[in-house]
A and B are shown apart, each in its own frame.
Chain A
């Protein structure tokens, strides 16, 4: 599997992970799989690479 980064949803505070090469530091809104909101990753309270 490619490198991943964990991201925390700014709304529900739950964590999920994304494909680093395709999504890390990209201007693409992420989808929280738990609460269903799309958000820019800069709004995440914590990103763990």
Chain B
């Protein structure tokens, strides 16, 4: 009850990054660590600390109080990392119960996507993100703690969400895109052929620069909202408002005024234009797949302004790791579940597993009634989300959040020649290293369910009534139990 009351208190206020961190720190202080020692984000020290934690299976939010900037001097703003590395913290961001962070959270997200909340505009003078405004030559991105993530990255990268505005429809679109530091007022930008790419292409075909604002820091619900899979043409600011459960407050940008609005409660925003027809080498960059995307020719952004709160916090995601994976899968699961439910009402759960960077591998459980339902479910999932490459459909006795169980079903219920289908030449993902070209891939459908049209063996089990009757502590002392080693491969959760 105390948790819910506190969450309601927070939700009554405008969402901001600090409101989230205050809630997290008061309710779950064990979820956040503060590092007061100086770190050099541009020299991999931030990601080295995150990797050390990962190697110990620890995924806290890490607040770096004293990062250096790109000039090797103390940054005027601290840095926060790893906000999205657990589903529990994503649930907290959406104001839902962290204990219900599997399918319940995914379905709540999907429900909110269907109920967009129009944004509201406020004056610049009321907008916290305008407390510090730098334009033109006053801007120097090297003053900030931009993170260089992996060894082959050529530079530090801002890897949060550029927002663009469609020149025809007037709607805004946001997406996580990588932005390479190229100079005090210059960034490179990589866009896959998705929504922001479409918008940029329209401006470029007309010979016009594409206005953009990179929202570097905001409440995590804002960023989870950015990851919606709503159709192109819906205003992301309204969808994000739906996800947040309150209207997103907007304010005029420094660059284009009321023609281009930006989130008023952000901590830090970079404004600029994507230059038409300009291409420069960019990357390699360690991507969500866990591989580097190759160096290629990509557009550049001329930065026109930086605005931030006086006590701003700089944010990044640990791309190619759990922080970046969890946030990518969760917003898709509910949408896929709802599409499948339209054709297979007995669908039980949908999960994008960590093993596929929470994008490529989709596990679906159904309570199968007739043959053919598993492949129907798989086809529905593939139609709903283009990121999905491999679909495994299992029976409802298999927990799709436990990859070991999913692979048990594959091992014991699949005959490859009968139960696996391939669909060739389907749109894939430019960053999938197994693809031989930029666009197309082969999708795989695996039916790992038991047959219903013939007798099939039963799984072993110890009688439930005996399990219920027998308390382990009555046979092995509690202290001894606590000291027994736990083997991670026996409880690997995905």
Contact = CB atoms under 8 A, between A and B. Distances in A.
B493 interface: no
Contact of B294 (A17, A32, A34, A36): A17
B153 interface: yes
Contacts of B433: 1
B154 A31 contact: yes
Given A16-B152, A31-B154, A4 B294 contact: yes
Contacts of A34: 152
B294 A28 contact: no
B284 A23 contact: no
A34 B138 CA distance: 29
A18 B436 contact: no
Interface string A15-49: 01111011100001111111010100000000000
A15 B345 CA distance: 52
B444 to A, nearest CB: 18
A18 B296 contact: yes
B297 A23 contact: yes
B284 A1 contact: no
A29 B438 contact: no
Nearest to A6: B294
B295 interface: yes
Nearest to B438: A2
B289 to A, nearest CB: 8
A3 B434 CA distance: 10
Contact of B295 (A3, A21, A31, A36): A31
B293 interface: yes
B38 interface: no
Contacts of A36: 154
Contacts of B154: 31-33, 36
B182 to A, nearest CB: 10
Interface string B420-457: 00000000001111111110000000000000000000
Interface residues of B, number: 22
B437 A2 contact: yes
Contact of A33 (B153, B296, B430): B153
B284 A17 contact: yes
Contacts of A3: 436-437
Interface of B is mostly: loop
Contacts of A29: 281
Nearest to B285: A33
A37 B436 CA distance: 29
Interface in B62-114: none
B19 to A, nearest CB: 38
Contact of B152 (A1, A21, A28, A33): A33
Contacts of B292: 17
A16 B295 contact: yes
B435 to A, nearest CB: 5
Contacts of B435: 1-2
Contacts of B431: 1
Interface in B276-330: 281, 284, 291-297
Most buried by A among B291, B430, B431, B438: B438
B430 A23 contact: no
A26 to B, nearest CB: 9
A22 B294 CA distance: 10
B437 A18 contact: no
Contacts of B152: 16, 33-34
Interface in B148-194: 152-155
Contacts of A1: 291, 293-294, 430-435, 438
Most buried by A among B153, B281, B295: B295
Interface string B22-41: 00000000000000000000
B437 to A, nearest CB: 6
A28 B145 CA distance: 30
Most buried by B among A2, A18, A29, A30: A2
Contacts of B296: 18-19, 22-23
Given A2-B438, A19-B295, A23-B295, A33 B432 contact: no
A32 to B, nearest CB: 8
B297 A2 contact: no
Contacts of A21: 438
10 contacts: A2-B438, A17-B292, A17-B295, A18-B294, A22-B296, A28-B281, A31-B295, A32-B154, A33-B295, A36-B154
Q: Which 6 A-B pairs have the closest CB atoms?
A: A33-B154, A19-B296, A18-B295, A2-B438, A19-B294, A4-B294
Interface of A: 1-4, 16-19, 21-23, 28-34, 36, 38
Given A1-B435, A2-B430, A31-B281, 8 more contacts: A1-B291, A1-B293, A16-B152, A18-B295, A22-B296, A29-B281, A32-B154, A36-B154
